[in-house]
Amino acid sequence: MTVEKIMSDGEGYDDFPAGLRVLAVDDNPICLKLLETLLRKCQYHVTTTSQARMALKMLRENKDRFDLVISDVHMPDMDGFKLLELVGLEMDLPVIMLSENGDPKLVMKGVTHGACDYLVKPVRIEELRNIWQHVIRKKRTKPKNQHGSADQGNDNQSSGEGNGPHADRNGKCNRKRKDEEDFSEDNENENEDPAASKKPRVVWSIELHRKFVAAVSQLGIEKAVPKRILDLMNVEGLTRENVASHLQKYRLYLKRISSVASQQANMVAALGVKDSHFMRMAPFEGLGDFRPLSGQGRLGSAALSHYTTGGMFGRLNTPNVNLHNLSPSTLIQPNHGQNITNSISALGKVHPALASTNQSQSLFQGIPSSLELDQLQQIKCGTGMASFNAMDNSRLRNKFSDPGAAINSSSNIFNSSTNMMLHGSYQQTMSGGGFGDQSSQNMASLNLDSFNVSVNSSSRLLDSATIQSSTTQPASLLSTEPFHSQPLPMSTTGNNGFSNDPYLQKNAIDISSTTMSLPLEDSREMHYQQGLVGDIPSQRWGEQGQSYGHGSTATFGSLNAHIPVSGLSHSLDHDSGIINEKMGVFTNGRLGGGASTLMLQNGNEKLASESRGMANDSFLLEQQKIQSVFAPRSDDPLDAMMNAMIKREQEETIANCDFGFDEYSFESGM
């Protein structure tokens, strides 16, 4: 593919790479000036801003205005990683991270959040002369992403992996893959859209997604086939393929949510939240049984029973079925156990799919150390949407380009259902994950934390994010035991709940392990878990869910954090915009990497918003609760956690529910 062809969608550079339109973001004026001069020297068109929010605003105003974004990592108004995720999710532009610090962990974080490259300051001009390759690479993979083929996933991965020094290597891989893709791309294009040379991306706006969800619920998640959904939706210009891929994402999302939802469901039920997602959380209560410790108790028997109820589980087990279970309508059912398992299984399931994609791997590159790939996948599955998104990041992004609806399928669901749900579900997922023991940790982390954690180079996120809010307490608790003991309460205890859903168990474990795996590895992980757990309960339900979905749990964390009940208020204040963005970003399929970023960001933000107090306080409470739950844990830390989480969620959901919506609306407003 020649450069001209690549640029055929309107840019038409005469002598590329000259004229590349770069947006540079750095709060340090000297660095910014230097960067600007360097870029001008390379003959690029440079626009600078010292504020991340301004950058986002500019990007949102006109998505075609820039080809590439370079951003510093440490910025006062917004974490660079968060910006990275948002940009990736919403605009799908290549983003290069800049930092003083070349610490591999940070670099990893950048990668998992979807950065195309990571440069260390002070930047040399030679390094900047090559950044245009990322633009080309992204363009090459973009159309394919829509198809969401595994290849694309790989491609995305490779793009994401293009850390500075390894750019060459990645470039080669990408090129190779691109060639393959080009082939299939052409074919696909032909098949799917013979009329146009390039298939236009479908933007899954909120409206569109609502229609989609309505159609799906009308048909019943099990019967929802793309063709029928398409007919029901009756939208012009929408193809079956669009619906199919969106459905896939949605299913992943549901899975993710359901695991979180289980926990939340309990809460939701208590709160009376209508969100199905929350309902899903309820099952989590069942998990609570695992841990008699948890005072919360809710989770206890109820959850278990739910889990055992094979009804949902059974469905969960089946890869697709899980999704079905997750469908909002089904979710509502208090299949606590199921939800969780579903989510877990969903995770597990998803992850095979995801596993295939390199994305999952890339997402969890940092994490997988301890986790097996499976776990990662599972986690991914958990993140379901996230992972899925990872695969189709670009695709998802396309789909969910709408910021409001940014939340990719998963998010959309959330959006439609309510932010709360997300939160809840997320939290659940998280809590579930968190509870899990080490393996379960993964689980817990699965929800959000795990991903985030793992993604975030494990402790980093956790430490910052989780700890952010009040995590101090819970973190400690979580880190040590709960997670370990509850691999997923389901899974460890032999998947009590998941008996029906062996898959879940596996997933749960995987998830926890994967997610947690990272955290497990070191104390940091614990924090992460804690953060997750803590986060979930108080703040980040949403985030958790997200993080879970995304490889980038980080994002979730942040999202959740924001969304979470307590966190919501904060997040709203603080990063309402961000949260929304996160959500959007989150959903956009950045999940894989972006999500984590988001989460991370959220986490970071949350930390920042510690002062917010609201969330923190509640969070602290929650955390304490969880902690107590966890501490004792011997075998069911997860349960305890779950209970705690659920409880928290419930408490929070009530509070958060409002927020959730607010946030959402905020998002929409954005």
Partner 1 sequence: MQRQLANMKQTLFDQGYLDEQFIQLEELQDDANPNFVEEVVTLYYRDSARLIQNIEQALEKSPLDFSKLECLMHQFKGSSSSIGAKRVKSECTQFKEHCRVGNADGCKRTFQQLKKEYATLKKKVEVYFQFARQIGPVEKACRSK
Distance CA 340, CA 521 (A): 24
Which of 124, 172, 198, 223 is the binder for partner 1 (CB under 8 A)?
124
**Which runs of consecutive H residues, i.e. helices, occur in 327-408?**
328-332, 336-356, 358-363, 373-383, 385-391, 393-399
CA–CA separation, 35 and 22 (whole Å) = 11
| Cα–Cα distances in angstroms (integers) from residue 231 to residues 238, 239, 401, 583, in the given order | 10, 10, 23, 28
How far is it, in rounded angstroms, from Cα 251 to Cα 323? 4
Q: Does 129 bind partner 1 (CB under 8 A)?
A: no
Q: Which CB sits closer to partner 1, 120 or 477?
A: 120
Task: Report which residue type is found at 588.
Answer: N
Tell me which of 4, 64, 125, 179 binds partner 1, using CB under 8 A: 125
Do the Cβ atoms of 151 and 184 come closer than 8 Å?
yes
Minimum distance from residue 464 beta carbon to partner 1 (Å): 10
Beta-ladder partners of 70: 24, 96
The answer to whether the peptide bond before residue 122 is cis (omega within 30 degrees of 0) is: yes
Nearer to partner 1, 463 or 649 (CB): 463
Residue count, binding to partner 1 (CB under 8 A): 17
Dihedral sign computed on CA atoms, order 625, 630, 635, 641: positive
Query: Among residues 65, 121, 175, 228, which is the contact residue for partner 1, using CB under 8 A?
Result: 121
Q: Note whether 182 binds partner 1 by CB under 8 A.
A: no
41 belongs to the binding site for partner 1 (CB under 8 A): yes
Smallest distance, partner 1 to C-beta of residue 668, A: 33
Q: Which range of residues in 25-33, 130-138, 343-351, 478-486 is near partner 1 by CB under 8 A?
A: 25-33
3-state DSSP assignment of residue 21:
strand
From candidates 12, 102, 104, 122, binder to partner 1 by CB under 8 A: 122
Is residue 29 part of the contact set for partner 1 (CB under 8 A)?
Answer: yes
229 binds partner 1 (CB under 8 A): no
**What's the token pair of residue 407?**
């939340």
Stretch that binds partner 1, among 119-127, 242-250, 415-423, 649-657 (CB under 8 A): 119-127
Nearest Cα to Cα of residue 646 among 495, 544, 520 = 544
Region label for 501, one of left (φ > 0), alpha (ψ between -120 and 50) or beta (otherwise): beta
Is residue 369 at the binding interface for partner 1, with CB under 8 A as the rule?
no
Query: Shortest Cβ distance from residue 41 to partner 1 (Å)?
Result: 6
Which one of residues 3, 34, 244, 654 is an interface residue with partner 1 (CB under 8 A)? 34
Least separation in angstroms between residue 145's CB and partner 1 is 35
Longest CA–CA separation in the chain, Å? 69
Using CB under 8 A as the binding rule, whether residue 100 contacts partner 1 is answered as yes
Of 230 and 467, nearer to partner 1 (C-beta) is 467
d(CA 54, CA 65): 14
The pairing of strands 117-120 and 95-99 is parallel
**Is residue 77 near partner 1 by the rule CB under 8 A?**
no
* Secondary structure (DSSP) of 454-502: IITTTHHHIIIIIIIIIIHHHHHHHHHTHHHH-S-TTTTTT-TGGGS-H
**C-alpha to C-alpha distances, 437 to 53, 253, 529, 560, nearest whole angstrom:** 39, 24, 10, 21
Distance CA 402, CA 537 (A): 28
Give the C-alpha separation, 349 to 28, whole Å.
45
Q: What's the closest the beta carbon of residue 37 comes to partner 1, in angstroms? A: 5
Q: Given candidates 45, 53, 74, 166, which one binds partner 1 under the rule CB under 8 A?
A: 74
Piece of 24-32, 156-164, 496-504, 589-597 that binds partner 1 (CB under 8 A): 24-32
Q: Which of 23, 31, 376, 585 binds partner 1 (CB under 8 A)?
A: 31
Q: Are 577 and 53 in contact (CB under 8 A)?
A: yes
Pick one of 11, 19, 28, 193: the residue that binds partner 1 (CB under 8 A): 28
Instruction: Please say whether the beta carbons of 363 and 333 come within 8 A.
Output: no
Q: Are strands 21-25 and 68-72 parallel, antiparallel or unpaired?
A: parallel
33 contributes a contact to partner 1 by CB under 8 A = yes
> CB of 31: closest distance to partner 1 in angstroms?
5
Minimum gap (Å) between residue 122 Cβ and partner 1: 5
Query: How many residues are listed for the chain in this entry?
Result: 670
Q: Is residue 127 part of the contact set for partner 1 (CB under 8 A)?
A: no
Among 10, 14, 15, 30, the residue binding partner 1 under the rule CB under 8 A is 30
Instruction: Find the shortest distance in angstroms from Cβ 33 to partner 1.
Output: 6
Smallest separation, CB 117 to partner 1 (Å): 19
Phi, psi (deg, nearest 5) at residue 97: -95, 145
Q: Does 12 bind partner 1 (CB under 8 A)?
A: no
Q: Using the minimum distance from each CB to partner 1, give the nearer residue, 43 or 187.
A: 43
611 binds partner 1 (CB under 8 A): no
Window of 37-45, 240-248, 319-327, 346-354 that interacts with partner 1 by CB under 8 A: 37-45
Residue 308 vs residues 121, 287, 342, 391: alpha-carbon distances, Å: 55, 10, 12, 32
Which residues on neighbouring strands pair with residue 437, listed in sequence order?
Answer: 484
Secondary structure (3-state) at 94: coil
Q: Is 18 in the site for partner 1 (CB under 8 A)?
A: no
Q: Which of 4, 12, 18, 37 binds partner 1 (CB under 8 A)?
A: 37
Q: Applying CB under 8 A, which part among 28-36, 389-397, 433-441, 487-495 lies near partner 1?
A: 28-36
Q: Which stretch binds partner 1 (CB under 8 A): 22-30, 57-65, 479-487, 492-500?
A: 22-30
Binding-site ranges for partner 1 (CB under 8 A)? 27-31, 33-34, 37-38, 40-41, 74, 100, 121-122, 124-125
